[in-house]
Each structure stands twice: as C-alpha cells, then as structure tokens.
Amino acid sequence: MKFMLMISSIILPIIMVILQRKWNKIQVLFHVLAIISALIFGNIAAIAIYTIIQDGTVFMTNIHGLFLNPFFLMTGAYLGLFTVYRMILKLAQIV
C-alpha cells in the first residue's frame, strides 16, 4: 500500500499534465478543484484548532484527530498532487 501511494504521487501528476496537454480546458477544472480543496482543507484545520483553543486542551494528541477526517485527507492529497503537477508544468517551460 505504501508503495502504491508513492508511485501514484508520481504517476497522477504526470497523467494530469498529459490530460492538460490533450484537453486544454481541463486545466480550469484542475485549478477550480485546487481552490475548493484549499478552502476545505484550511477551514477544517481552522475549525479543529479553534475547537482545541475553546476547549482549553493543550495536548498535541487532540489535533491529531484531524487526520481522521477523510475530507481533510482527500483535499490535502489533491493539493499535494496539484502542486507536483504545477511544478512539472513549470519545469516544462524552463527546459
């Protein structure tokens, strides 16, 4: 499973670049998904931190409950893939 995660973090951004080269309008979709993901990711993190401050808990284990939220994980994963995708596009411009 760990191997699949590592390979997919390389393969999926490359597939995104290929799709973007084939269908230019899909780039808009990738950007919209990135914006939505960033908003969801940030809001979930902010709510979790706000809740910890409100409850007065200082234990670091409380914030780790954030990693059990599937939306946090999915949006964070997409932002990671999107970042690599953008770096590949930037590298293609330089080379």
What are the sequence ranges of the domains in the chain? 33-95
pLDDT-derived band of residue 5, with 50, 70 and 90 as boundaries?
Answer: confident
Name residues whose C-beta falls within 8 Å of residue 67's C-beta, 6 or more positions apart in sequence.
73
Q: Give the predicted TM-score (pTM) of the model.
A: 0.87
Q: What is the mean pLDDT of the chain?
A: 91
**Stretch 39-57: mean pLDDT, rounded?**
89
Alpha helices in the chain (DSSP H): 2-22, 26-55, 60-63, 70-94
Spell 13-24 as b/e; 16+ CB within 10 A means b. beebbeebeeee
Give the model confidence (pLDDT) of 49-89 as tens digits: 888 888 877 666 777 888 889 999 999 999 999 999 999 99
